[in-house]
Amino acid sequence: MTTEARLGSVANYVDERTGAAAWMKKNLQKVFPDHWSFLLGEVALYSFVILLLSGTFLTFWFDPSQREVIYDGSYEPLEGLKMSAAYASTLHISFEVRGGLLMRQINHWAALIFMSAIVAHMMRVFFTGAFRKPREGNWIIGIGLLTLGIVEGFLGYSLPDDLLSGTGIRIAEAIIQALPVVGSYLAYFAFGGAFPGEAFIPRIYTVHVLLLPGAFLVLITVHLMLVWYQKHTQFPGPGRTEKNVVGYPLMPTYMAKAGGFFFIVFGVTAFLAAVASINPIWLFGPYTPGQITAGSQPDWYMGWLDGLVRMAPPIETHAFGHTISWNILIPGLIIPGILFTGMALYPFIESWITGDKREHHLLDRPRNAPNRTALGAMSLTFVMVTLLNGGNDIIATHFDLSINQIMWGTRFGVLILPPLAFVITKRLCLSLQRADRELVLHGRETGTLLRLPHGEFVEVHEPISPEKAYLLTSHEQAPPLELPAIDAHGVKRAGALRNKLRSRMSIANAEAIPKVSATELKEIEHH
Amino acid sequence: MKRLSRYRRHKAAAPLLLFFALLTVGATFSVASATTSAETTSADRSVQIEEGRQIFLKGCSSCHGLNAEGMQIAPALIGVGAASVDFQVGTGRMPMADMSTQAMRKDPIYNAEETAALAAYVASLAPGPAIPSESSLNYERDGSTAEGGELFRNNCAMCHNFAGQGGALTQGKYAPTLMGVEPKHIYEAMVTGPQSMPVFSDKTITPEEKLSIIKWIKSAEKEPNLGGASLGRVGPVTEGLLGWTLGLGLLIGVAVWLAMKAR
Amino acid sequence: MSNEIEAIKDPGLPAHVHRKADTDPKAAKRAERQVASMFLMSAFGTVLLIFSFFFIPDDVFVFVPILGNQNAHQLGLGLGMAISLFFIGMGAIHWAKTLMPDVEVVAQRHEFRSTDSDRKDFVSAVKEGAAASGLGRRSLIKRSLGAALGLSALSPLILLRDLGPLPGKELEKTTWKTGTHLVTDPGNRRIKASDLEVGAVAQVLPEIEDPEHRKLSDIAKDAVLLIRLRPEEFNLEADRLAMTHDGIIAFSKICSHMGCAVALYEQQTKHLLCPCHQSTFDVTRAAKVIFGPSARPLPQLDITIDDEGYLVARQPFSEPVGPSFWERNSQ
């Protein structure tokens, strides 16, 4: 039987039972637009798969128990010491299981890359406005994935029960304990009694290995299905409209490129795991609450939280026999809560400001949405300042600075620098718009000088291609909302204050350098 | 000779004579001051103490006072013992290079003999911790690596980091790295509590336990980095940095290549 | 409005530019060879992985530039795996880029909104179904269903009750009692006041009957730091001074902020630094907070000596140690 005939009989077998040919024929030809920044989400997706694979390997040897054992493995500096079975089994994986250390390192590097890719992908989606209708739901799912990723990573590196991650668990317990009214109860329920107890590691193992991966699988599936069904967005350009998708078909081009990229992500992760040591828990020692190491930090995706907690003013209220630790609740729960809620609701906030209720499938070039881009820069600055403070002791020792100076610097910096970043970024966007306008009207500066017959020197400008001109002028420039405070009958409208705020924000949002029109271009051409 | 004396009034005669005289004196001095490292007798010791006092007056008294009584900028050295001097001078911390936040380890200014003399002088001022003898520093034989690790994590890691890489203290001070430090100096530091470091009494950390700590530190120093390059052994900060730069950087690089049109 | 101003027209998709491999068969063959050599490189990586796994012992070290001394077994495994994966990817991508069709295809997006008739049908289907269930009419069913579902939601919460004991007063108690001896950690040796020099620090735990089986949950509240200063260096109220002994002062080592071990003692400044969030405590002023996010000083342990000169606690801690909680009644 020829290959074709063999394939044919397999296809026939499946199709007779499922009717698969109908939907497969459509989907094998599905068109995907091409841009390198669209691969950031893929990096996250593939990292997730790598985490599942390497993680499963680890579960075959890891013992998630806090019962005390005496170490008798091959690592001499810990010989005969008391430690939990979790820590001892992690040592066993690292030193006696062939490929064990590699898998541990792949799991941890993949986690770091997973989180970096999620953040980079989120930034791409944000700065290009891909979260607008009809993709608001997918954005919220994405914020959910980001939040779950932070928790999953924290739980993952806490499983070995070493000195560094145990310290992190102590801090997590202090946050739970600080909750008003229910704090001590929730802490005792989570830990099965007093800290550290013997129940926490086994319980977070279940969360890390079963519950959260299950949640990820569901959320990622919905996330991808939405992208599949709603079709991916695309950058503006010649031939691209709100009503089409321009790109390459799934089979064979995208299968090869996207499939190949999975191996690239896995390969780069394995490369990092081969050449860069990560989380050497045998050097940290087993966790005991009486010990601590200088330079205690969580992994980077929680570093900004650590930085916030460090810079918090020492405020606690004691009243009527009760204590509320604002110095823990505000940086640890309230500020992150506001931040993540704001992020999740942003598509709705933006459509409220712009009054734009239409579908968008063409992306914005970030410069053409100056307010949004400036807001993103502001949030990034906030995260970077807090992240810096999270590592203030490491920075101090390496750059000969003082932790006190860095702390005060970031205390003020976190309030001053983000608004500064907003203003600077907005101005940068507007000047880029101006540069675009110049480019369309006057063409590209070639650097060649020409002497005119009457003696004047001019720089030769090369007109840009019609494709480029279209790219630089195809974006929308919506005017601000019209929200009169007084309606047609002279009555003051309800919600006047809200409308005033909305109107003000809408005006600020609509600030832009007017793009070049066809009429203007014609005038220039006749110049 | 007659030929030479003809030039006695030459204008170069005086400077030339001076030069040769200095050369002779200098050569004689360096020959005479070179000594052998022999066992010091009690007579030798008092010579050594006097030698130490001379070095002290020249190089230390401007900050520590003419009788080591201390001044505004430097503490008194009465009772700090030979061990303190051996540590501070032996690691090059003293004389301090500049009046910055704290003395840092650098190439020692004084050689072993001068350091011993200084130590003897300061020890003569009042009783204090003595320099540990070679035989009492046999950490390989008398110490236990595992116990040393436990002790290190309990007493040292909070300042010097889990792998002895050093850590930050307040106001720009720091606990330095313990890598590449002589076992003798580690012992002396624990006993004398230099600068910000507290004293670790022999009763709360016994001499055997101190040797165990040294044995662990030396083992950590020699221990190769399993699983790749070490990234400084300072934890998640450098790991996160590498993940973002090399990790995501490489991947974005490949992504850009992937989306580019082939030639 | 941009609608009123005439926008620059869309010139349409740019003309397709052919790749070398599209027109030149030699270039195509070259691309094919490049793809094949990448796949071969991957195979080499797999061989390296297998070879390292079985044949390189794990105590061999090689010097590698930039990385330093590396374990050959680990490096072989890791690089072998990295190469075997990476080059499959490179091969596939290069194949797609050079040889697979790269003509841009245009597909139409479809409207998401259902047709009006579909919407009407949907609404009527829901309405009819709801009416058929009778839920609207039969309020007895509705109310009892609500009660049943609401109550059943309680069960999972109740079933989780045994996750942990109630805290009770446990957060406020430690092992320290009147007469408890201070012992070294590790070592469990009693400490005499004369054992400590001025400027000395000791990690301390309460003496218990079975020191070999000390619980971590107890250490998490019992850990104490012992510091000796000169008595004249203290700047304390009389009642706090009375809790010291001849310049020796004891504090709970568990940070009053979030529970890390506060043990960085700066001998010259007499400051204690917590490495987690940089809370700084002044030992001469009963661990008063002078920098950082902690809102309370470290609890001080009242110490004295017994007739043999060993340090003992005169009474338990007068306040709960460690991080704050709702029920904590601070002065």
Indicate if A463 and A323 belong to the same structural domain. no
Do A306 and A422 belong to one domain?
no
Confidence of residue B32 (pLDDT cuts 50, 70, 90): low
The residues of chain C scoring below 50 in pLDDT are 1-4
Q: Are residues A220 and A351 in the same domain?
A: yes
Residues C91 and C179 in one domain: no
The confidence score (pLDDT) of residue B9 equals 82
Q: What are phi and psi of B134, to 5 degrees?
A: -55, -45
Q: Is B96 exposed, middle or buried (0-12, 13-18, 19+ CB in 10 A)?
A: middle
Q: Are residue B150 and residue B209 in the same domain, yes or no?
A: yes
Same-domain check for residues B187 and B119: no
Q: What backbone phi and psi angles, to 5 degrees, belong to A468?
A: -65, -40
Query: Hey, which residues 4-33 in chain A have their CB within 8 Å of chain B?
Result: none
pLDDT at residue number A231: 93
pLDDT computed for residue A493 by the predictor: 67
Report the interhelical angle of A136-158 vs A212-230 (nearest 10°). 150
Q: Is residue A30 part of a domain?
A: no
Which three-class secondary structure string do you get for chain B?
CHHHHCCCCCCCHHHHHHHHHHHHHHHHHHHHHCCCCCCCCHHHHHHHHHHHHHHHHHHCHHHHCCCCCCECCECCCCCCHHHHHHHHHHCCCCCCCCCCCCCCCCCCCCCHHHHHHHHHHHHHHCCCCCCCCHHHHCHHHHCCHHHHHHHHHHHCHHHHCCCCCCEECHHHCEECCCCCCCHHHHHHHHHHCCCCCCECCCCCCCHHHHHHHHHHHHHHHHCCCCCCECHHHCCHHHHHHHHHHHHHHHHHHHHHHHHCCCC
Record: contact B230-C268, CB cut-off 8 A = no
Domain closes at, from A324, A359, A394: A359
- Probe site for chain C from B73, B162, B170 (most C CB atoms < 10 A): B170
**A23 within domain boundaries:** no
A302 and A379 in a single domain? The answer is no
Residues C85, C179 share a domain: no
B256 part of contact set with chain C, CB < 8 Å:
no
Q: Which of C35, C173, C216, C265 to mutate to test the interface with A (most CBs of A within 10 A)?
A: C216
* Radius of gyration of chain A, Cα coordinates, nearest whole angstrom: 28
Length of chain A: 527
Q: Is residue C219 part of a domain?
A: yes
The total of structural domains in chain C comes to 2
Query: Do A132 and A233 touch, CB atoms closer than 8 A?
Result: no
Q: Which of A307, A334, A359 is the last residue of a domain?
A: A359
Residues 6+ away with beta carbon under 8 Å from C121: none
Residue B23 forms part of a structural domain: no
Q: Of C274, C219, C229, C223, whose CA–CA distance to C249 is shortest?
A: C229
DSSP calls for C156-223: HHHHTGGGS---TTGGG--S--TTPBEEETTT--B-BGGGPPTTBEEEEEE--S-GGG--HHHHHHH-
Its domain, for residue B173, covers 136-224
Q: Is the pLDDT confidence value at B99 over 80? A: no
State how far the Cα of A183 lies from the Cα of A325, in Å rounded to an integer. 11
Does residue B22 lie within any of the structural domains? no
Cβ-proximal residues to A33 (8 Å cutoff; 6+ apart), any chain:
A232, A233, A234, A235, A245, A246, A247
Q: CB under 8 Å to A108, separation ≥6 — which residues?
A: A156, A157, A278, A279, B239
| Inter-residue contact A342 to A382 (CB < 8 Å) | no
What gap in Å lies between CA B95 and CA A479, rounded to an integer? 72
Within-domain flag for B178 = yes
A393 and A346 co-located in one domain = no
**Same domain, residue pair B211 and B183:** yes
Same domain as C93, residue C175: no
Residue of A nearest to B239 (CA): A278
The model's confidence at residue B31, banded by pLDDT at 50, 70 and 90, is low
Based on the fold, state whether residues A295 and A374 are members of the same structural domain: no
Q: Which residues of A touch B155 (CB under 8 A)?
A: none
Q: Cis bond leading into B207, ω under 30°? A: no
Contact between C205 and A30 using a beta-carbon 8 Å cutoff: no
> In this structure, are B124 and B45 located in the same domain?
yes
Residue whose structure tokens are 């980079």 = A120
Q: Do A283 and B255 touch (CB under 8 A)?
A: no
Same domain, A350 and A369: no
CA dihedral A281, A284, A289, A295 (to 10 degrees): -120
pLDDT category at B41 given cuts 50, 70, 90 is low
> Cβ-count burial of A7 within 10 angstroms (0-12 exposed, 13-18 middle, 19+ buried)?
exposed
Task: Test A283 with B233 for CB contact under 8 angstroms.
Answer: yes
Same structural domain, B169 and B192: yes
- Give the span between the Cα atoms of B164 and C263, in whole angstroms: 16
CATH of the domain at C283: 2.102.10.10
| A15 lies in some domain | no
In a domain, C108, yes or no: no
- Domain check: are B171 and B219 in the same one? yes
Domain span at residue A426 reads: 365-477+512-527
Tell me which DSSP letter residue C284 carries: G
Same domain, C291 and C177: yes
Domain-embedded: residue A17: no
How many angstroms separate the CA atoms of A43 and A39, rounded? 6
Structure tokens at C310: 């060993």
Do residue A312 and residue A331 come from a single domain? yes
Answer whether A379 touches B (CB < 8 Å). Answer: no
Number of domains present in the structure of chain A: 2
In which domain, by residue range, is C189 found? 171-313
**B257 to chain A nearest CA, in Å?**
8
User: Does the residue C260 lie in any domain?
Assistant: yes
Q: Which residue has the tokens 């990622």?
A: A220
Residues A377 and A243 in one domain: no
Residue type at C69?
N
Partner-chain contact A243 C109, CB within 8 Å: yes
Q: Is A276 within a domain?
A: yes
d(CA C33, CA C28) in angstroms, rounded, equals: 9
Q: pLDDT of chain A along its 527 residues, tens only?
A: 677 787 788 888 888 898 888 888 888 889 999 899 999 999 999 999 999 999 999 999 999 999 999 999 999 999 999 999 999 999 999 999 999 999 999 999 999 999 999 999 999 999 999 999 999 999 999 999 999 999 999 999 999 999 999 999 999 999 999 999 999 999 999 999 999 999 999 999 999 999 999 999 999 999 999 999 999 999 999 999 999 999 999 988 999 999 999 999 999 999 999 999 999 999 999 999 999 999 999 999 999 999 999 999 999 999 898 999 999 999 999 999 999 999 999 999 999 999 889 999 999 999 999 999 999 999 999 999 999 999 999 999 999 999 999 999 999 999 999 999 999 999 999 999 999 999 988 888 888 999 999 999 989 888 888 888 888 988 888 888 877 766 677 776 667 778 888 888 888 888 888 888 877 777 776 65
**Same-domain status, C192 and C281:** yes
Last residue of a domain, one of C36, C68, C98: C98
**Amino acid A526: pLDDT:** 65
CA of B162 vs chain C CAs: smallest distance (Å): 12
Q: What distances in angstroms separate CA A272 from CA A154, A221, A269, B75, C78, one per listed residue?
A: 20, 28, 5, 50, 9
Q: Which of C40, C75, C98 is the last residue of a domain?
A: C98
Nearest CA in chain A to C276: A296
How many domains is chain B partitioned into structurally?
Answer: 2
Cβ–Cβ contact C39 with B under 8 A: no
Q: Which of A311, A334, A359 is the last residue of a domain?
A: A359
* C67 Cβ under 8 Å from any chain B Cβ: yes
Q: What is the pLDDT of residue C4?
A: 47
**Together in a domain, A190 and A243:** yes
Look at the pTM and tell me if it is higher than 0.90.
yes
Maximum C-alpha span of chain B:
97
Q: Is residue C127 part of a domain?
A: no
Instruction: Search chain A and give the residue with CA nearest B229.
Output: A276
User: Which residues are CB-neighbours of B5 under 8 A, at least 6 positions away?
Assistant: none
CB of C175 within 8 Å of a chain A CB? The answer is no
Residue B13 lies in a domain: no
Give the pLDDT band of residue B36 (cuts 50, 70, 90).
Answer: very low
Say what the ipTM of the complex is. Answer: 0.93
If asked whether residues A162 and A57 sit together in one domain, one would say yes
- The closest CB to that of B247, out of A113, A285, A401, belongs to A113
- In chain C, the residue whose alpha carbon lies closest to the alpha carbon of B263 is C19
CB contact under 8 Å between B196 and C269, yes or no, is: yes
Pairwise CA distance, residues B129 & B190, whole Å:
11
Rounded Cα distance between A45 and B205, Å, is 52
Q: Do C79 and A271 touch (CB under 8 A)?
A: yes
Whether B245 maps to a domain, the answer reads: no
Q: Are residues C178 and C87 in the same domain?
A: no
Residue at A269 is within a domain: yes
Nearest residue of A to residue B146 by CA position?
A77
Domain co-membership, B150 together with B119: no
We report the CATH number of the domain holding residue A310 as 1.20.810.10
Same domain, B127 and B200: no
B225–C264 CB contact, under 8 Å = no
* Residue A171 shares a structural domain with residue A240: yes
Specify whether B148 is located in the same domain as B194.
yes
**CATH code for position B91:** 1.10.760.10
Q: CA geometry: angle at B70 spanning B64 and B73, to 5°?
A: 70
